[in-house]
Amino acid sequence: MAITYLKSGKPETERAADDAKVRGIVETTLADIADRGDAAVRELSVKFDRYDPPSFRLSPSEIEAAMSQVSARDLADIKFAQDQIRRFAEAQRASMTDVEVETLPGVILGHKNIPVQSVGCYVPGGKFPMVASAHMSVLTASVAGVPRIVAAAPPQNGAPHPAIVAAMHLGGAHEIYVLGGMQAIGAMALGTSTIDPVDMIVGPGNAFVAEAKRQLFGRVGIDLLAGPTETLVIADDTVDAELCATDLLGQAEHGYNSPAILLTNSAELAQATLTEIDRLLGILPTAETARASWEDYGAVILCDNYEEMLATADEIASEHVQVMTDRDDWFLEKMTSYGALFLGPRTNVANGDKVIGTNHTLPTRKAGRYTGGLWVGKFLKTHTYQKILTDEAATLVGQYGSRLCMLEGFVAHAEQCNIRVRRYGDQDVPYGTAAEENSNQKK
């Protein structure tokens, strides 16, 4: 395989050092929130957002006031996006059915899909107000049937962001807090005197938000480690440099550390894209952020053939993968590690981010190797149950269970089975021994 990097970002050692700094800051912050609760949360809000309201939770009148500031056009657009996301989430929910089956005569096994009982949905809003993240988390949790949905987002210019509040409310949030960053994650997960803790935290965010979720996992559930955003463009000579450069910078503008990678088998396209990115950075209003990401985290990788492109793409396991080739469906069939695929030049990552209907909270940092993105199923727990309806079934299963427990040396386990064999099978099993079959017993 001949894979050439025409451009690469900062070395992994430097990225690891950055991660270590974030890890230490988050650990100290979460410990402070656990110790001092609301006082620590308020100090962090003042420090990072210069926001010190009487209450971080919005009242119904405050929600109404915020929504009144959203234009009719913006409100209609939000509702359109939520319709698409709801439609797809409902189809996903319908695919998840409860199961009950009789595996042996008289033996009933089943599972039920039960919603998580309380969820904290984080909506980023630092550099850019991520209105769409409210649809992706709050609305999807609502479709799943979560009975308590808490939503939090940072203030914008010292006040709740009207469109984010509207999206949260319309999506089905039961509690809305104007609170950002790792302090919001800590407050929702750990709880304070004014915020009851939740069972699960979901939503994307910056490196500090993602690290807070990682450190809190176990105490609460999380959807996945989502952030900072990543994009991979897989392209051949069927598309041009302007399209590739636009799609790369479209995600690079998220933040200073958003990886954007072009993977191609066309040297001409690779060089042209590098030139086009320089041109677009000269006219892009958000160039300061996009340029920082491109310089430190951008890459252009040249491969000899499509098989090399496929192998490299699965190794990268990017959050977003835009595929624009003469064989898009081949990549759909063959790729195994990614957050979401965007197939063909007619769609793009921004469609998925904002409106098309699939969820935009997706695995980053190679997590696509072992998990998909946020979806309605993440808010549901699949719990099993069993029951035995006949004496014959209780005896048969109990005999097997007794012997298998004794095989492992678990005598008390075996006695759980033996007592059923004695009572329902009328069989005299000596205490602490393995149950045997009766000679006239049907198997």
Which residues are known to be catalytic?
319-320
For the residues of 261-326, what is the DSSP string, one character each?
EEEES-HHHHHHHHHHHHHHHTT-TTHHHHHHHHHHHEEEEE-SSHHHHHHHHHHH--SEEEEESS
Residue 205 near residue 80, CB atoms below 8 Å? no
Q: Of 316, 348, 309, 350, which is closest to residue 331 (Cα–Cα)? A: 309
Edge-to-edge strands, sheet with 4-7? 4-7, 298-302, 260-264, 231-235, 320-324, 340-343
Write a three-state SS string for 160-220: CCHHHHHHHHHHCCCEEEECCHHHHHHHHHHCCCCCCCCCEEECCCCHHHHHHHHHHECCE
For the residues of 50-76, what is the DSSP string, one character each?
----S-SBPPHHHHHHHHTTS-HHHHH
d(CA 150, CA 137): 10
Residue 117 near residue 350, CB atoms below 8 Å? no
Please, is 15 exposed, middle or buried when counting C-beta atoms within 10 Å of its C-beta (0-12, 13-18, 19+)? middle
Given the structure tokens 């005896």, which residue do they identify? 395
Token pair, residue 9, equals 């970002």
Residues 6+ apart with CB under 8 A from 60: none
Residues 6+ apart with CB under 8 A from 162: 66, 67, 68, 69, 70
Chain-centre distance for alpha carbon 309: 26
Angle of CA points 367, 368, 374, to nearest 5°: 90
d(CA 128, CA 111): 42
CB atoms within 10 A of CB 390: 13
